[in-house]
Structure 1
Amino acid sequence: MAGASTAAAVAAAVATATAASSTKVSSSTPYLTSSSTFSSSATIPPPITMSSSQLPWTPDSPMQIGFVGAGRMAEAIAMGIIVSGKVEANNVMASAPSDKNLWHFQNLGCRTTHSNTEVLQNCSIVFFATKPHILPIVLAEVSPAVTRKHVLVSVAAGVSLHTLEKLLPPKSRVLRIMPNLPCRVQEGAVVMTRGRYAEKCETEYLQNLLSVCGLCEEVPEAYINIHTGLSGSGVAYVCMFSEALAEGAIKLGMPSGLAHQIAAQTLLGAAKLLLQSGQHPAQLRSEVCTPGGTTIYGLHALEQGGLRAAAMNAVEAATRRAQELNKQS
């Protein structure tokens, strides 16, 4: 199912439900509404206490966090841990070939450099947030600077732990994570998996650090690619759906700004309702539907447009692509 036809199905569903509401009005029809303003649901967990014998750094001194690569995902993670108060901005260093991306870090108050090796020389936890095809070149460059004090975290899609450990010095402490862009507003979804030589305490520290960015779970490595298709790429799917919802309302005469604001708030409210209630999506969906009401007409239009199959196909296609990248690395 092409994206254009799916978006058309969403817009058609909005129009169908709107038309149904104009022909049949029932005061008993329930709607999910929210008058509350946005607030982050992420909670900041207490710091993990570890002895110096457990970690390759001294926990009493401020943790130095490094980013090799300063793109959007690196910025999202940095914003999450800095805004939450977990790490002070002056204890974060980022590197990139040019100033194009570094200014985001500079505005946060972080240290910046054009030298990847300098990040390794100054930081104990280092996130590698480069493009997957560039990562092997970067790892070869910084390998001489890697020591036992380092915990190395790859954010690159499709680069396996086996490949990372092969490219780095023997027994390097390596982890893979897959975040998504909402980490920037502390509402992200992050999964992580550790290599053979990463200790449990290091994994716990990293999980504690990243939990301020939103949900953070340790998973088997096989789930990383699935998470990429579901959540890493899923942000774009949701944005497309939000855009299509708004365009359905715009087509019917609602001002563009208001339509996009309401569409985004509807997605936010529905997501919070799902998470806080713990109910299956189908159960909450049924609560919005009444016999002969507007919602069932809209849902019928979505089913006719193939929304469900298109969404499932999108997750599978993105996951397959991540697996292909894994084989190429």
Structure 2
Amino acid sequence: MRHVGGEGATVRIGFVGSFGTVHEVVQMAVEAEQHGWDGFFTWDGVDLGGAMGDTSFPVWDPWAVLAAAAVRTERITLGALVFAVPRRRPWVLAKQAVTVDHLSGGRLVLPVGLGVPDDRAVAGVRGEAVGVRERAERLDDALALLDRSWRGETFDLDGTHVHVEGMRLLPRPVERPDGRHRIPVWPVAAFPSARSMGRAVRWDGVVPQLRGDRAMDPMTPQDVAEVVAWAREHRDPAAGPFDVVVQGVLPDDPAEAADLVGGLAQAGATWFVDSRWDPQAATPERLLARLRLGPPDLGPLASG
């Protein structure tokens, strides 16, 4: 990981096990480690079938998947793209995260977002926060609780929607190489929203998405460079490493894949995560086939 705009950065390459049976998805984590990937990610949804144009694919609980992956792997980073935090109880989320963090020996990361209203767990459940503003408030409350809970001390929290008295959550996360007991948090941010990006730079990384007509477009090196410049300007340099996590689809051709990731890394991306969201195209067989090709070899860039 690198400081924003730092030299000698390492770019890491991950893969999303987007579709398959629960056994196939866990096997993808194992294969990811075997074939040289740096990270494996699942995802957090309840019922997104209609939104994806297909109601037939299975959806698994991310914490169960990650717990199984944690005990079957030894090296790779684990997480979900992304955890839909506002519809979760923050103290339960904290306990789930610390449990998987310990099972994995400190390899967990927390990409977090508002969740999508297309998920029937939001739009189809009376009383859930549907509006963007309330979901953002609940996300901030939850992140504040996570931060306080990881200190191992009894705490109170008087948030916008979450009010806690006298809570203490043990154990703390696994100690990181820098001595902190902290699971890295990567908020999703709509760039160039100052409010959204402002949340991200208070934490440990950003999963940037473009706004408006380009919301579904892949990030270009120029986009990444602008995100990095914004973060460098607004983040305290003493706050520690900051990841810029870009999603996309890797070409099968090794040279094309290396060019794609290399260009983004030169612009400041510290992670590239191969993310395939079309359930018709991203069959378990195709996902496993791409995993077995391995990540592109970036040569000196990969090692910094």
Which one has a larger percent helix, Structure 1 or Structure 2?
1
TM over 0.5: no
Find the structure with the greater CA-based Rg.
1
Structure 2-normalised TM-score?
0.28
Q: Which structure features the higher share of strand residues?
A: 2
TM-score by length of 1: 0.26
Using CA pairs below 8 Å that are at least 6 residues apart, which structure has the higher relative contact order? 1
